[in-house]
Chains A and B, each alone.
Chain A
Amino acid sequence: MDLSSINPILLLASLMVAATPILLAAIGELVVERAGVLNLGVEGMMITGAVCGFIVAISTGSPWLGFAGAALGGALLALIFGVLTQVLLSNQVATGLALTLFGLGLAALLGQGYVGIKAPPVAKFPIPLLSDLPVIGPVLFRHDPIVYLGITIIAATSAFLRYSRAGLILRAVGENHEAAHALGYHVIRVRLLAIMFGGACAGLGGAYLGLVRVPQWTEGVTAGAGWIALAIVVFASWRPWRLLLGAYLFGGVTVLQLNLQAAGVALPVSYLSMAPYLATILVLVMMRSGRAPGSLGQSFHASR
């Protein structure tokens, strides 16, 4: 056992990177659920975003256009879910699961000709001055721009939900869609927009895996990250800043687990892998405020 070989600074830095894809997917899903929609298709949207981002990045040579393409791809796939569940009133759970399966298949199909190709590199973007700080610099300020974007989205979402009028409407739609409708708000439109935002974020998360973490296209590249994102939303009891904590916890356990192994610590891997899920259950049991939005998962039609 040689714990000294684990460098805490590098550990924390790679924790932030490992958490970014699930963080992005989870914040999107959080907004969707706050609007009262349960979209279980996160995994499918992530992987579709990953393949769209990869294709765009390869054909344009720009990873940034790739990320834009990923967001668009994810949003379009989410829109299918939106139309099915909001306009055609299909069951959200079943449609969401179907979206995951569909997304996995679609991504495999689209990615056929892209196996084994290398993605254009994404440069790190150390923030001037701040990145030179001891300890904090390498941990926080020497990442690629998407890591910062993830945190920015968290902050923006938190502010949007808490302080803006539109955020209030979105929460109203999620808590009680009939009341929101009676007040004259367009429930379906709000939900469709939220669903598309969720898809775009999931797509970005997927593209982060495909363009930065793995940098290549392989089928099944997301490998269950979408499900972890769903768990994090519950863990965070639908609050953006807690979600950041949750993503670092889940991402941190992955990285820590590998670090401990490499350092030769004889701790069964399975315990560490279980830990975040146990934490999620604990949080659900212990936190009273962890109440799901009132209309979560229910279909809405103005005639009822």
Chain B
Amino acid sequence: MKIKTLLAGTGIALALATGAFAQDPTKVGFIYVGPVGDGGWTYEHDQARLAVEAEFSDAVETFYVESVPEGPDAERVITQMALQGADLIFTTSFGFMDATVNVAERFPDVKFEHATGYKTADNVSAYNARFYEGRAIQGHIAGQMTESNIIGYIGSYPIPEVIQGINSAFLHAREVNPDVEFRIIWAYTWFDPAKEAEAASVLIEQGADVILQHTDSTAPQAAAQAAGNVITFGQASDMAEFAPFPRVSSIIDDWAPYYIERTQAVIDGTWESSNVWHGIPEGMVGIGEITDAVPAEIKASAEVMIEAIRAGEYHPFTGPINYQDGSVWLEEGDVADDETLLGMNFFVEGLAGDIPQ
């Protein structure tokens, strides 16, 4: 009798204990396209993951897989992560979009968050940052800083996000310098330091004295530094180790507030599929310190532009803007709508060359 009572008592105590204290932590998984040590894109996502851990401590458990190739392999990795019991999975590259949607169909109870894509489902949210707002600042500074009037641009893949960046930077460079021209190299990779360095060197050899990059490593910064008279901008991360020169400013992606908010929503059971596109006003896009290598008046006017965007008074794609062939895209004072921007597959007037298909 006694033992039975004791056992029963223990059982109840245990049940209480598990119910009250040892609640299973919420598991949050991250899929990265590059290594966490890339010093750029993936590094910032991982910083945000660490911020989630710091915010929730024991209530949340995070794990990640890095250097996942975009393509069929991604689907396998995401499936594996869902099978491991993840409650929320962030897939942090454009090329993971279809894989994410496919896996999400098979795991209706798991919540998915896909970065920089456009497809959503009941359990798939999309989130993106308005990098083109930062590109406007870069173009504004670059157009005034260049002496050769040639700006080199290392693109990754010809997708809307990258094309927005090129158009935005170009429009704002032309605005302050009508003679400026862009040389664009498509690297067809998000992360390949050797190729990125090569691309930067080629652009510098062809006379570029500003290098803008939409790839994830710091290799172009190093190439510019070696050349000596070329300026760059940090991409995705501050890349402050190259400041104050060649890196004169940067676009910083700050994912942490969003990741914390979404994780909280999963814990509270209030998570709903959404599609957000945040920029400078919400703090998802930050502009790194403009260094003293930039003359004070250029810095001041760039800061005015940042504030105008932050206050919602200025949209980088405000007409008049023409298509590359000279036909009208936006009339005077018109502002581009998000749908057009998200599907942007054309260059604006003044840019040379075609977008590879």
Asked if B197 is at the interface of the complex by the 8 Å CB criterion, the answer is yes
Q: Shortest CB–CB separation between residue A148 and chain B, in angstroms?
A: 19
CB of B202 within 8 A of CB of A219, answer no
B185 touches A220 (CB 8 A): no
Cα(A214)–Cα(B199), bound, Å: 11
Q: Name the B residues within 8 Å of A118 (CB-CB).
A: 222, 241
> Is A112 in contact with chain B by the CB < 8 A criterion?
yes
Most central of B67, B193, B218, B354 by chain A CB within 10 Å: B193
B219: nearest chain-A partner, CB-CB: A214
A264 touches B222 (CB 8 A): no
Is B356 a contact partner of A268 (Cβ separation < 8 A)? yes
Please tell me which one of the listed residues B35, B189, B201, B353 contacts residue A264 in the complex, with CB atoms under 8 A apart.
B353
A2 vs B2: C-alpha distance in the bound complex, in angstroms? 94
Q: Which A residue's beta carbon lies closest to that of B222?
A: A215
Chain B 61-76 interface mask (CB, 8 Å, partner A; 1/0):
0000001000000000
Q: Is the CB of B194 within 8 A of A116?
A: no
Docked complex Cα distance between A255 and B200 (Å):
11
Q: Does B207 contact A (CB under 8 A)?
A: yes
Interface residues of A (CB under 8 A from B): 5-7, 10-11, 14, 18, 21, 108, 111-112, 115-118, 121, 209, 213-216, 218-223, 225, 254-255, 258-259, 261-264, 266, 268-269
The bracket for how many chain B residues form the interface is 35 or more
- Given A7-B205, A223-B192, A264-B353, A115-B37 contact (CB < 8 Å): yes
In the bound assembly, the distance between CA atoms of A154 and B198 in angstroms comes to 24
Q: CA–CA, A10 to B222, complex, Å?
A: 19
Q: Is B188 an interface residue (CB 8 A)?
A: yes
Of the A-B pairs whose beta carbons lie under 8 Å apart in the complex, a sample of 22, sorted by A's number, is A5-B206, A7-B205, A14-B205, A116-B39, A209-B193, A213-B197, A213-B198, A214-B194, A214-B222, A216-B222, A219-B34, A219-B35, A220-B35, A220-B67, A221-B194, A254-B198, A258-B198, A262-B183, A262-B184, A262-B206, A264-B183, A264-B352
Q: Contact check, B241 vs A218: say whether CB atoms are below 8 A apart.
A: no
A55 to B207, CA, bound (A): 34
Supposing A10-B205, A259-B202, A262-B206 touch, asked if A225 and B194 sit within 8 A by C-beta, the answer is yes
For A259, give its contact among B35, B206, B218 (CB under 8 Å). B206
Q: A223-B195, A261-B186 are in contact. List 18 more A-B contacts (CB 8 A).
A: A11-B205, A14-B201, A214-B194, A216-B218, A219-B35, A219-B38, A219-B67, A220-B35, A221-B194, A222-B194, A255-B198, A261-B184, A261-B185, A262-B184, A262-B185, A264-B353, A266-B353, A269-B186
A75, B298: Cα distance in complex, Å: 53
Verify if B203 is at the interface (C-beta below 8 Å from A): yes
If the complex has contacts A118-B222, A218-B219, are A262 and B152 also in contact, measured as CB distance less than 8 A?
yes
Distance of A117 Cα from B242 Cα, bound (Å): 10
Is the Cβ of B199 less than 8 Å from the Cβ of A258? Answer: yes
Closest to A117 in B: B241
A111 to B356, CA, bound (A): 36
Chain B min CB distance to A272 (Å): 11
The answer to the question of B191 belonging to the interface, with a C-beta cut-off of 8 Å to chain A, is yes
On chain A, the residues within 8 Å of B202 by CB distance are 14, 255, 258-259, 262
Cα(A232)–Cα(B153), bound, Å: 31
Closest chain B residue to A223 by CB distance? B192
Return B328 CB to nearest CB of chain A, in Å.
24
Residues of A with C-beta under 8 A to B186:
261, 269
Which 4 residue pairs are nearest across A and B when measured between Cβ atoms? A219-B35, A115-B37, A258-B202, A264-B353
Chain A residues lying within 8 Å of B353, measured Cβ to Cβ, are: 264, 266
Q: Does B50 contact A (CB under 8 A)?
A: no
A216 touches B352 (CB 8 A): no
Q: Name the A residues within 8 Å of B352 (CB-CB).
A: 264
Report B30-65 CB contacts with A as 1/0, cut-off 8 Å. Answer: 000011011100000000000000000000000000
CB distance from B350 to the nearest CB of A (A): 13
Chain A residues contacting B39 (CB-CB under 8 Å) are 115-116, 218
For residue B217, CB closer than 8 A to chain A, the reply is yes
Docked pose: A115 CA to B40 CA in angstroms:
11
- Docked Cα-Cα span, A14 to B194, in Å, equals 13
A111 nearest in chain B by CB position: B37
Within the complex, what minimum Cβ distance (angstroms) separates B288 from chain A? 15
Task: Determine how close the nearest CB of chain B comes to the CB of A150; give it in whole angstroms.
Answer: 16
Is B38 touching A218 in the complex (CB atoms < 8 A)? yes
Measured in the bound complex, the distance between the Cα atoms of B39 and A14 in whole Å is 26
Considering the chains assembled together, what is the distance between the CA atoms of A266 and B355 in angstroms?
9
Give the most central of B34, B37, B226, B354: most A CB within 10 Å: B37
Q: How far is the CB of A209 from chain B (nearest CB, A)?
A: 5
Closest chain A residue to B351 by CB distance? Answer: A264
Q: Are B194 and A213 in contact (CB under 8 A)?
A: yes
Contact A209 B194 (CB under 8 A): yes
Contact of B37 among A219, A258, A261 (CB under 8 A): A219
